[in-house]
Amino acid sequence: MSFACTSTESGETCKHPEYWFLDGSLVLRARATLFRVHQSQLCRKSVFFRDLFSLPQPIPPLPDTETIEGCPVLDLHDAPVDVANMLKAIYDGPSFDDNSRDDFVAVSGFLRVANKYLIEESIRGKVLAHLRAAWPATLDAWDAREDLARIHEADTGMLKGHRFANPIAVIALAREIGADDMLPAAFYDLSRYSYAQIFEPSPGDPFHPDASPLPHTYVLAPDDMQRLALGKETAQHAITALIQNMEYASSESSRHRQWPRQSAEPHVHCRARSRSATNGVIVCVTPAACRRDLCELVDLAKQHYLMDREHGCADPLYVAEELGQLKSAEFSDCVACARDLEAWAARERERLWRAIPDWFRLRR
């Protein structure tokens, strides 16, 4: 699409190629871009415009009233691309991409002007629901998000942090539009990076300016910087406690419980020494060996996450998931204990997820 540009007393202006309707009754001017639209459409979808145009207007118009092609001009102090996205939502309904970084530029711009001009809640709600898929309030939705990030990393070779928007920008947007439910996920995502990656990023890092399509750089407010520091510290303590809890569990005889036999898993063939089938249940018959095996796994986890600080060392949800898979039920000598470990990890992940707002002091 090409812009038709003309010179006026206020400088060169260009008609937007899509939102210049010949039968429009109002011209919106955003910087040097002109939009000729229908006043009635704006009033239907925006409380701001409805109230604005309900005010009594002088008849006839004042002599110095600016018009373009017979239509009054209303100046908007917004980016032309944000006004275009607002008009697209008003005329055609909101449309989304895939919550990529480029998509966030359009979505965040729309939400800012939608908040400013009090766009109809049904439109704003659809856009927010789309954005919340990337910054969710439930653990299941977070896991789905992380799956997409891992696929992106495998397909592109780029760090998975490039898949979604800069969490600092998300925090700024959530603060501005009052979408506080997105803050825990955004702070948690941000906390997984080192301070050097956040504040002194290298080329290729998700926080490097070259990796962001946003028109300007966002910074954390001092209060949010404090929340990040406190949350990162608490998250690290959570990983240490998680591994310690796993070690404590390994010494409890109650770990070696009975599990219902799963008739839906006929393909799982387990070694005779590890199982005893009594009344349709799977029972651990080697508790001493299982405790010894689990102690070895605990030592491995301590070395990997606490000493060597390998991949995932700042991500408690990831660590809990990995710990739960250390004894796979499909390959383990003891399916009862493997399933017990998986169940323990699932409970721990739910507990951690519920605690995240407290880590970052987001409760009110």
User: Could you state, in order of their start, the residue ranges of all structural domains in the chain?
Assistant: 4-78, 101-230, 232-259+281-359
Determine how many CB atoms are found less than 10 A away from the CB of residue 97: 11
What tens digit of pLDDT does each residue of 338-358 get?
Answer: 888 888 899 999 999 999 999
Strand partners, 119: 46
Is the CB of residue 169 less than 8 Å from the CB of residue 218? yes
**pLDDT band of 299, cuts 50, 70, 90:** confident
Mean predicted confidence (pLDDT) in 200-211: 88
CATH fold of 4-78, please?
Potassium Channel Kv1.1; Chain A (3.30.710)
Q: What is the pLDDT of residue 83?
A: 95
Report which DSSP code applies to 253. G
Is the CB of residue 184 less than 8 Å from the CB of residue 362? yes
- Cβ neighbors of 207 (< 8 A, separation 6 or more) are 161, 166, 168, 193, 197, 198, 201
DSSP string for residues in 158-227: S-GGGSS--HHHHHHHHHHHT-GGGHHHHHHHHHTS-HHHHHSPPTTSTTSGGG--SSS-----HHHHHH
Q: Among 179-188, 277-286, 311-320, which stretch is predicted with the lowest mean pLDDT?
A: 277-286
What tens digit of pLDDT does each residue of 2-27 get?
Answer: 555 665 555 688 999 999 999 999 99
Q: What is the pLDDT of residue 291?
A: 79
What tens digit of pLDDT does each residue of 85-101 get?
Answer: 999 999 999 888 899 99
Is the CB of residue 214 less than 8 Å from the CB of residue 343? no
In whole angstroms, give the CA distance from residue 291 to residue 293.
5
- Cβ neighbors of 317 (< 8 A, separation 6 or more) are 139, 142, 188, 349, 352, 353
Taking the whole predicted model, whether its pTM rises above 0.85 is answered as no
**pLDDT band of 62, cuts 50, 70, 90:** low
Q: What is the pLDDT of residue 337?
A: 80
Is the CB of residue 3 less than 8 Å from the CB of residue 81? no
- Cβ neighbors of 10 (< 8 A, separation 6 or more) are none
In whole angstroms, give the CA distance from residue 299 to residue 310.
14
In whole angstroms, give the CA distance from residue 348 to residue 341.
10
Q: What is the pLDDT of residue 197?
A: 92
Report which DSSP code applies to 117. T
